[in-house]
Amino acid sequence: MIREVDLQEISDGKLYTANDLVKAGCNDCAGCSACCRGMGNSIVLDPLDMHRLCQGLSLPPEEVLSRALELHVVDGLILPNLKMAGAEEACAFLNEEGRCSVHPYRPGICRLFPLGRVYEEESFRYFLQTDECKKENRTKVKVKKWLDVPDVAAYERFVCMWHFFLKRMGELLASGNEEEQKQMNLYLLRLFFLTPYDGARDFYGQVDARIQTVNRLFGE
């Protein structure tokens, strides 16, 4: 999701790497769940998020989509996001105790919050959104520990690859007519989100192969 914002207005003015300390620690939220409510369609998923949810819930992609996700157009592309429901617009995975029921395999944006990413020259760094998390007196924690993902370097390469792939696809689709955009969007949705990944094989290699398939389709 591309956002045009002034980092000086929404952050502490610093940029971080995975090895840096940042004031994001919130004592495991203690059941606050403020960031799990009223988020609209902003919690957009990537293919790794869908794969993790399918593996963790032991459900096929179509069922995960129908139970807890919805589809929206983001920068010209149809992408899934977490569904907010009920009077409090709570995440579909939030349980009655105000805790995340999929915490071990929660999406990347949830892992990242209250951090954000700023992309530059085929790479990115992190920034701290100062007014997003309601928790006071947050503690310092290493960014890579906060993300809580195995092999952070491989994960960051995937995040970067996926971001710039989507950016390129959005630009390419914008040059086509409405029917072409629709058909290509459905193809990308099926290829990256609705076609299961093999849990016994390296995920990153599988998604890279699918990206290369699309690149060949566009003659790149």
pLDDT (tens digit, 0 to 9) for every residue of the chain, 220 residues total?
556 666 666 678 899 999 999 988 876 666 678 888 989 999 999 999 999 999 999 999 999 999 999 999 999 999 999 999 888 899 999 998 889 999 999 999 999 999 999 998 889 999 998 776 666 777 899 999 999 999 999 999 999 999 999 999 999 999 989 999 999 999 999 999 999 999 999 999 999 999 999 999 987 6
Place of tokens 């940029």: 15
Measured distance CA(191)–CA(177) in Å, rounded: 21
C-alpha 166: how far from chain center: 12
Peptide bond into 104 cis (omega under 30): no
Measured distance CA(46)–CA(155) in Å, rounded: 12
CB 127 within 8 A of CB 17: no
Q: What is the pLDDT of residue 4?
A: 61
DSSP secondary structure of 46-102? -HHHHHHHHHHHT--HHHHHHHHEEEEEETTEEEEEEPEETTTTEETTB-TTS-BTT
Tell me the domain boundaries of the chain: 11-217
Q: What is the pLDDT of residue 130?
A: 79
Helix (H, G, I), strand (E, B) or coil at 209: helix
Query: What's the pTM?
Result: 0.92
Measured distance CA(198)–CA(204) in Å, rounded: 11
Q: What is the pLDDT of residue 30?
A: 63
Q: What is the pLDDT of residue 1?
A: 55
Q: What is the pLDDT of residue 47?
A: 98
CB 203 within 8 A of CB 51: yes
